[in-house]
Amino acid sequence: MHERVILLKNKTRPKDAYCNYLNEYNYEPVFVPLIKHSYIPSEAITLLTDDNYFNQVDSLILTSQRAVECLEESIIPSLSQIQKKKLLKKTVYTVGPATEDFIKRVGFTNVKGGINAGNGSVLADIIINDLKTLKSGKFSNFLFFVGEVRKDIIPKKLALHKDLIQLKELIIYKTEELDGVLENFEREIYDSKYVVFFSPQGTKKLLPFVKENHGAFKVITIGPTTKDYLISNGINVDMVCEKPEASSLVKSVQKL
């Protein structure tokens, strides 16, 4: 019988790298979604169909797979073929290999950061270094597709270089907590050895149960921010993945 690994996340469409990797190494991935996403595409569609505006946009920033899904499923189908072609030619900066792969599957060809950017702070440094290397003498216009709830690490870092970049954040999806999360988690955890936290978002109702029953399973986090969040709530973390990617998770599971 394969060891079960609880993944506290929505399964990524059309394929999920964490699911594929765990299956490959004979683990059984079990998804327990905590949140749901709703698209807010109207402002993005308005801007992307305004040639006067979009012709001035040099690059895009896409750090969330949810944002990529919104582009693919709701925004791009609303564009003309000429507008779609223009969009897919833009340079895209992203975080992590999984989101990079997803962006490329959508049809973007010039993707930067990705595997070389493990977090938003590193990605901001890559963007700044790229712009300094260009030395064009004028600032570049960036469009950052985000959700209603997001970190401000990238905007804060880029704001220190207003001579190089002008950034517009565009909210294209919102996130809501699902009902019945604790019940679903309790049902799946009964014979599982590992629980993987990807983000603090949507986990509040789980924390008392995890704290009380932690000895029955190992707690793994994707990244130090989530680790700090759990520790601040009195939960010991058994392992932190070195990188926010599926292969790193498998290595972490194998070490425990």
**Tens of pLDDT along 215-227?**
899 999 988 889 9
Residue 1 has pLDDT above 60, yes or no: no
How much of the chain, in percent, has pLDDT values that exceed 70?
A: 98
For 141, which DSSP code?
E
Mean pLDDT of 199-218: 91
What's the CATH number for 38-176? 3.40.50.10090
Phi and psi (nearest 5°) for 168?
Answer: -120, 120
Residue 53 has pLDDT above 60, yes or no: yes
DSSP 25-36: TTEEEEE---EE
**How far is 32 from 6, CA to CA, in rounded Å?**
7
pLDDT, tens digit, 9 for 90 and up, residues 97-142: 888 988 999 999 999 998 888 788 899 999 999 888 876 666 788 9
Q: What is the mean pLDDT of the chain?
A: 89
- Residue 146 CB contacts under 8 Å (≥ 6 apart), including other chains: 63, 64, 67, 169, 170, 171, 172
Q: Kindly report the CATH class assigned to 3-34+180-255.
A: alpha beta
Fold match between domain 3-34+180-255 and domain 38-176: yes
Amino acid letter for position 9: K
How much of the chain, in percent, has pLDDT values that exceed 90?
A: 57
- Predicted TM-score (pTM) of the model is 0.74
Band of the pLDDT at 41, cuts 50, 70, 90?
very high
Q: Where exactly are the structural domains of the chain?
A: 3-34+180-255, 38-176
pLDDT, tens digit, 9 for 90 and up, residues 146-201: 988 777 889 999 988 888 888 999 999 998 888 899 999 999 998 899 999 998 98
Beta carbons of 27 and 210 less than 8 angstroms apart? no
- What is each CA distance from 84 to 46, 52, 75, in whole angstroms? 13, 15, 10
How much is the pLDDT for 135? 66
